Amino acid sequence: MINALLAAIPSPSSGSVHIGPLRLNAYGLMIALGVIVAVRIAGRRAEARGVATLDDFSAIGMWGVVAGIIGGRAYHVVTSLDSFRGRWVEALYVWHGGLGIWGGIALGVLVGMWKARKISRDPLWIVTCAAPAIPVAQAIGRWGNWFNQELFGRPTTLPWALEVSAAKARAAGYAAGTTFHPTFLYESIGCLVIAWLLVRIEKRTDPARGRLFLVYVALYTAMRFFIEGLRIDPAYHAGGLRLNQWVSIGVFAAAVTSLIISRRRSATDPEASTVSDHE
């Protein structure tokens, strides 16, 4: 009986959520929920450290989120040009899915740091406070892919395999009824584990400002490399790897190098303190 219940994870029949007479796009709703939760977590962390208020973080988050959506969509479109040829207007259809995490995090963090400096807040402490909150937002946002029945992995018959519609299976090149690796679920769980690890690392080592964000980048890219290898959606390939796997390798190397340089510098430079000075 248990095996029957765990035969596969069903996909929703619609990409929308109905709340009374309201019809909400589930992909956008998951992203919005992730943002709200992340801003709340990061804001409370900033208040606890005495580096910013929740209102400050809400203002920073507003700029960062808008920039992140623009950057994420731009990355997706640039790396998937063939799928938009002849219908370029669909590049604006964010609600259909398609936000590249690399472009989203890069532009979102840069603009968020810019906004933090504009309101006289230390950008490095801001990204430190945001570090565990970002993977939580990603964990929630990934469920938008479930609603859209997209970005699933290779076929599998594991108990937690993902069922998709016959049309989605055939579009991926497989027979109706084929079940797939739920890569959205793997990444969602992985992001929650990363958030937990970041909090544990912070409690044990109290890393210098900005360093926890680099740890997040290293952990996420390492995880994403392996999850990306399971995916079967169209992507550019080189040397037997998908484009996002190469990006993961490059970003991981940059994060680890930055961590090493930061640690070496901290051996000679005095560390900046927070307002509360860890009372």
Q: Which pLDDT tens digit goes with each residue over 194-235? A: 999 999 999 999 899 999 999 999 999 999 999 999 999 888
Q: Is the pLDDT of residue 35 over 70?
A: yes
Q: How sure is the predictor about 275, in pLDDT bands with cuts at 50, 70 and 90?
A: very low
Residue type, 271: E
* Six token digits for residue 252: 């991981």
pLDDT attached to residue 22: 61
State the Cα–Cα distance between residues 73 and 101, nearest whole angstrom: 9
C-alpha 117: how far from chain center? 24
Q: Is the pLDDT of residue 189 over 90?
A: yes
Q: How sure is the predictor about 188, in pLDDT bands with cuts at 50, 70 and 90?
A: very high
Q: Mean pLDDT of all residues in the chain?
A: 85
- How many residues can be counted in the chain? 279
Find residue 231's DSSP bridge partners. Answer: 153
Residue type, 100: G
This prediction's pTM: 0.85
Least confident of 5-9, 49-53, 187-191, 256-260: 5-9
| Burial environment of residue 34 by CB neighbours within 10 A (0 to 12, 13 to 18, 19 or more) | buried
SS3 5: helix
Give me the numbers of helices (H) and strands (E) for the chain, helices first please: 11, 6
Which residue in this structure is represented by tokens 């995916």? Answer: 231
Q: Which pLDDT tens digit goes with each residue over 157-173? A: 999 999 999 999 999 99
Which one has a higher pLDDT value, 52 or 28? 52
DSSP 209: T
Q: How sure is the predictor about 279, in pLDDT bands with cuts at 50, 70 and 90?
A: very low
Tell me the percentage of the chain whose pLDDT exceeds 90. Answer: 57
- The arithmetic mean of pLDDT across residues 58-62, rounded, is 89
- The arithmetic mean of pLDDT across residues 140-163, rounded, is 92
State the Cα–Cα distance between residues 115 and 204, nearest whole angstrom: 30
Tell me the percentage of the chain whose pLDDT exceeds 70. Answer: 82
- What are the residues whose beta carbons fall under 8 Å from the beta carbon of 276, sequence distance 6 or more? 48, 49, 50
Q: Is the pLDDT of residue 1 over 50?
A: no
C-alpha 172: how far from chain center? 24
Q: Which pLDDT tens digit goes with each residue over 69-111? A: 888 777 777 777 666 666 667 666 666 666 777 788 888 899 9
SS3 236: coil
Q: Is the pLDDT of residue 177 over 70?
A: yes
Which one has a higher pLDDT value, 41 or 57? 41
State the Cα–Cα distance between residues 256 and 91, nearest whole angstrom: 34
Q: Is the pLDDT of residue 276 over 50?
A: no
pLDDT attached to residue 24: 64
Provide the Cα torsion 149, 195, 135, 183; round to 10°: -20
Q: Which of 23-32, 98-107, 145-154 has the highest mean pLDDT?
A: 145-154
Q: Is the pLDDT of residue 18 over 70?
A: no
pLDDT attached to residue 5: 46
State the Cα–Cα distance between residues 211 and 258, nearest whole angstrom: 9
Buried b (16+ CB within 10 A) or exposed e, 112-123: bbebbeeeebbb
